[in-house]
Amino acid sequence: MKDFSNQISNRAESRDVEITDISTAVVEGNFEWNLIKIETDAGITGIGESYRGGGVPELVEYTKRFLIGENPLDVQRLYRQIIQEMSGHGGTTGKVVTAASGIEIALWDIAGKVLELPVYQLLGGKFRDEVRIYCDCHAGEAYAVDDGSTEYAEADAYTPQAYANEARRVVDMGFTALKFDLDLEMDNDPDPFNGRLTNAAIEHKREIVDAVREEIGDDIDLAFDCHWDYSVESAKRLAYELEPYDLMWLEDLIPPENMDAQTEVTKATRTPVATGENRFRVHELSELLYDHGVDIATPDPTTVGGLAETMRIADRAEENYIPISPHNVCSPVGTMACVHLGAAIPNFDLLEYHALEVEWWDDLLARDEALIQDGYIDVPEEPGIGVELDEDVVEEHALEGTSTF
């Protein structure tokens, strides 16, 4: 194992900074949001976010063994150090990379604050002043619950009209792009395992898409997500049926492991096909991009390896004239990190927002204004990622049984 400890120390005094602590908090939103805080001896704190779910806090805690005392400005060296030090833990993929992604974002936040620059400037500069957002929607009638959040009634939730009603509601909020889930319980009939869709299931999906498109018209961008459920032949049949609706994309039609199968589906239809959210590091996406096995790449920066790794993926996508639309189910912290990517990547298209039902989503930040305004987020000019947590709200919504910062 290489010894990375304290190898790099020669730098100007103003940038001679050390990591003193790393901690996590799990906030229970519509998902379990893994927030990360890195503290330094300069009194500057960075915040980041790793993809949702279990195991991340424990892995972040482990990194303290070799990151404490390091200079947080060496963002890429420390990211690579995590991968190397934890390679025996499956560190080249999976949850280790997820944990490293959130740490990397927090390191960028510190670097921006130390250098008094927004992160997008550190990533190479700005292509746009605002980032367009698409809203991930859920069909059904919304209703308020006691904790102030929103849930959706199950009754008639999956009728074409329920989808159309929700689409109208979201468009009226100012969004010009939206996405729905298209995988349904009826897809498991008559067999829940083989991934084949019946004619009735495909027709029901076509009716949903038709109803939404009829309601919102052609000027609103519209996508649907299938969550890796189908066989190649069923994916092709569904994509063919939806060709007349000029979708923004059809997402994750088949399981993610087989790149040749993904390429087969993508090249079989003129419906744009998107995938990439559960791939790790540039190595797991390069083949797909160079083979044109995807029309729109959707890596998740909080999974794939962080901001710089997403930019490496975007570079390869740009070589092949493929747009990037990051997957994002984060709190405002990870969302704003993605906004900086949206500013810095030339082939960036739009960014996912997946927390419409979380009424207190904006409250997590110490700011007065909502982040999303008329379907866009302004690229911030403040140092770092440009937002700070309201730790009282973090405490209020902490996952039961976990500690906070």
pLDDT in tens, 350-365: 999 999 999 999 999 9
User: Which tens digits make up the pLDDT trace of 217-230?
Assistant: 999 999 999 999 99
Number of domains in the chain: 2
Q: CATH number of the domain at 24, please.
A: 3.30.390.10
CA distances, 214 to each of 26, 163, 206, 224, 351 (Å): 40, 11, 12, 15, 24
Q: Same structural domain for residues 99 and 145?
A: no
In a domain, 401, yes or no: no
Q: Same structural domain for residues 129 and 176?
A: yes
- Tokens coding 121: 């400037």
- Tokens coding 134: 């698409």
Q: CATH number of the domain at 356, please.
A: 3.20.20.120
Please work out, in degrees rounded to the nearest 5, the angle formed at the alpha carbon of residue 339 by the alpha carbons of 337 and 343.
120
Does the pLDDT of residue 313 top 50, yes or no? yes
Q: Same structural domain for residues 193 and 257?
A: yes
Of 117, 148, 169, the domain-final residue: 117
- Report d(CA 243, CA 137) in Å as an integer: 21
User: Which tens digits make up the pLDDT trace of 55-69?
Assistant: 999 999 999 999 999
| Least confident piece of the model among 89-103, 144-158, 198-212, 287-301 | 144-158
In a domain, 391, yes or no: no
Q: Same structural domain for residues 70 and 156?
A: no
pLDDT band (50, 70, 90) for residue 183: very high
Q: Same structural domain for residues 249 and 323?
A: yes
Report, as an integer, the average pLDDT of 171-190.
Answer: 95
pLDDT score of 153: 52
In a domain, 396, yes or no: no
Report, as an integer, the average pLDDT of 381-390.
Answer: 97
Closest CA to 77 of 7, 22, 13, 15: 7
pLDDT band (50, 70, 90) for residue 155: very low
What would the DSSP string read from start to end of 113-168?
A: HHHT-BHHHHTT--S-SEEEEEEEE--S-EEE-TTS-EEE--TTTTSHHHHHHHHH
Does the pLDDT of residue 4 top 70, yes or no? no
Of 65, 84, 117, the domain-final residue: 117
Domain extent, residue 376, equals 121-385
Of 117, 134, 169, the domain-final residue: 117
In a domain, 300, yes or no: yes
pLDDT band (50, 70, 90) for residue 146: low
User: Which tens digits make up the pLDDT trace of 13-66?
Assistant: 779 899 999 999 999 999 999 999 999 999 999 999 999 989 999 999 999 999
In a domain, 394, yes or no: no
pLDDT score of 87: 85
User: Which tens digits make up the pLDDT trace of 315-361?
Assistant: 999 999 999 999 999 999 999 999 999 999 999 999 999 999 999 99
pLDDT score of 145: 47
pLDDT band (50, 70, 90) for residue 10: confident
In a domain, 7, yes or no: no
In a domain, 235, yes or no: yes
- Report d(CA 334, CA 48) in Å as an integer: 7
Q: Is the pTM of this model over 0.85?
A: yes
Q: Same structural domain for residues 225 and 350?
A: yes
- Report d(CA 91, CA 149) in Å as an integer: 36
Closest CA to 327 of 249, 246, 386, 218: 249
Report, as an integer, the average pLDDT of 168-177.
Answer: 97
Does the pLDDT of residue 149 top 50, yes or no? yes
pLDDT band (50, 70, 90) for residue 144: very low
Q: Same structural domain for residues 166 and 51?
A: no
Q: Same structural domain for residues 176 and 218?
A: yes
pLDDT score of 2: 52
Q: Same structural domain for residues 167 and 99?
A: no
Residue-wise over 207-235: b if at least 16 C-beta within 10 A, else e?
ebbbbbbebbeeebbbbbbbebbbbbebb
Does the pLDDT of residue 147 top 70, yes or no? no
Q: How many CA atoms lie within 13 A of 170 on its CB side?
A: 35
Does the pLDDT of residue 242 top 50, yes or no? yes
Report, as an integer, the average pLDDT of 114-127.
Answer: 98
pLDDT band (50, 70, 90) for residue 143: very low
In a domain, 3, yes or no: no
Mark residue 272 as left, alpha or beta (left: phi above 0; alpha: psi -120 to 50; beta: remaining). beta
10, with CB counted inside 10 A (0-12, 13-18, 19+), is: exposed
CA distances, 387 to each of 91, 110, 132, 161, 293 (Å): 29, 12, 18, 39, 36
Q: Same structural domain for residues 111 and 181?
A: no
Contact at 8 Å (CB) between 176 and 221?
Answer: yes
Q: Same structural domain for residues 234 and 327?
A: yes
Does the pLDDT of residue 374 top 70, yes or no? yes
Average pLDDT over the chain, rounded to whole? 93
pLDDT score of 150: 53
pLDDT score of 139: 86
pLDDT score of 88: 79
- Report d(CA 62, CA 223) in Å as an integer: 39
pLDDT score of 94: 87
Q: Same structural domain for residues 80 and 189?
A: no
Share above pLDDT 90 across residues of the chain, in percent, rounded to a whole number: 86
